[in-house]
Amino acid sequence: MKIFIFKSFIVFLVTIISPVQIHADTAFDVYINDFYSKSNEARKILKEIETTLKEGSRKNVCSRQREAANLGLLANKSLIKAFEIGGEEPPIEALNSSQKRWESILNEC
């Protein structure tokens, strides 16, 4: 019985103390995650601006709009980088359209 408890204790310690293998993100994953996080943040800011305008306030609208546009433009760059790293051709038409939309939002204020 003592041996069983001792072995169980050793197994428990090995599982707790043994190093956990960490799977590092690839460069592709980093850029894709960056694209998603920045584009989601930009959309969130635009939704907040929409709500603010519906409430009748224009406080900080232009600065927030520029912030969203800059995030959108950075997101596009991250997506292009991810496609380059992945060895695939990026959807140029969609990226150009997105680029123009973010630039127009940036320049509207």
From the list 62, 58, 81, the residue with the least C-alpha distance to 70 is 62
In this predicted model, what pLDDT tens digit does every residue of 53-108 receive, in sequence order?
Answer: 999 888 889 999 999 999 999 999 999 999 999 898 888 999 999 999 999 998 98
pTM > 0.85: no
Question: What pLDDT band is residue 45 in, cutting at 50, 70 and 90?
Answer: very high
**Most distant CA pair in the chain, distance:** 78
| Per-residue pLDDT reduced to its tens digit, 20-42 | 555 557 889 999 999 999 999 99
Q: Where are the alpha helices (DSSP H) in 18-88?
A: 27-54, 61-86
Please report the pLDDT score of residue 13 as a whole number. Answer: 43
State the first-to-last Cα distance of the chain, in angstroms, to the nearest integer: 78
